[in-house]
């Protein structure tokens, strides 16, 4: 109750019982502490946006703990903003309306090594996959935006977002039934998206030398986050 730490109070509110009487004291205190931090923060402080989001959540409910659906919507909105920005200098294409759901997911690793890079053949393949023409890039961006907005349950396609949190470039291979095979090159500490036909897929990749493999059934938007082996 006497804590003056934003993080301690926030952590307490996340796990406290909804009827805990301490909430009535700690919640307004946390809001004031967050507002004071923002007021004196440096303009480039990366925590400001996070603290503003915490205040917004606290004004709506008892803690900053967010549900799976809320996190999915935050991710979706960030993706929409990102791809809209890429198209902001051009009036190319159009996007539809709607709101998909997203599923966060991860896989398993085997045989990791110390941040091994791609071999020569994979480096050539990675460069080829990254070297798309401006028109191809715009076509892909419009298609991804359409998928992010699409709310039609009968749609035959869905979006896959892959976050590469590792220190190595990677190629993720997405293999389904028949000719449904996709490749996605993702630079280190970056992310990329692809629109695929709905169905069952095997995701494979080398993440800093470690073999990654995971089976996924894609019926909704899926997010895959890959980090350095062992993390």
pLDDT digits (tens, 9 = 90+) for 150-179: 667 788 888 888 989 999 999 999 999 988
Please give the Cα distance from 33 to 109 (Å, whole number): 42
Per-residue confidence (pLDDT) for residue 115, from 0 to 100: 54
pLDDT of 108: 61
* pTM beyond 0.75, yes or no: no
Question: Regarding predicted confidence, which is higher, 110 or 15?
Answer: 15
DSSP state of 23: H
Record the tokens describing residue 54, joined without a space. Answer: 């915490």
Note the pLDDT of residue 93: 46
Residue 187 pLDDT class (50, 70, 90 cuts): very high
Backbone torsions φ then ψ of 29, nearest 5 degrees: -65, -45
Distance CA 35, CA 136 (A): 45
What residue spans of the chain are helical by DSSP H? 6-15, 23-40, 47-60, 68-87, 120-130, 134-149
pLDDT (mean) for 177-196: 90
Predicted pLDDT of residue 18: 81
Contacts 24+ apart (CB under 8 A), 183-187: 183/125, 183/129, 184/129, 184/160, 185/125, 185/126, 185/129, 185/130, 186/162, 187/130
For residue 31, pLDDT beyond 60: yes
């Amino acid at each position: 109750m006497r804590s003056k730490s934003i993080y301690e109070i926030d952590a307490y509110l996340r796990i406290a019982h909804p009827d805990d009487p301490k909430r009535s004291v700690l919640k307004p205190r946390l809001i004031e502490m967050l507002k004071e931090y923002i007021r004196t923060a440096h303009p480039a402080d990366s925590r400001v946006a996070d603290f503003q989001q915490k205040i917004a959540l606290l004004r709506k409910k008892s803690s900053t703990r967010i549900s799976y659906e809320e996190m999915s919507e935050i991710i979706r909105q960030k993706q929409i903003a990102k791809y809209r920005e890429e198209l902001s200098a051009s009036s190319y294409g159009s996007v539809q309306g709607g709101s998909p759901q997203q599923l966060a997911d991860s896989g398993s690793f085997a045989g990791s090594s110390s941040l091994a890079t791609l071999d020569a053949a994979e480096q050539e393949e990675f460069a080829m996959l990254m070297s798309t023409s401006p028109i191809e890039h715009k076509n892909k961006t419009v298609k991804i935006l359409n998928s992010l907005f699409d709310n039609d349950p009968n749609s035959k396609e869905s979006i896959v977002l892959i976050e590469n949190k590792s220190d190595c470039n990677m190629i993720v291979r997405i293999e389904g039934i028949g000719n449904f095979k996709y490749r996605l090159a993702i630079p280190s500490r970056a992310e990329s998206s692809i629109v695929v036909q709905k169905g069952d897929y095997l995701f494979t990749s080398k993440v800093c030398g470690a073999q990654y493999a995971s089976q996924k059934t894609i019926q909704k938007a899926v997010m895959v986050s890959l980090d350095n082996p062992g993390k």
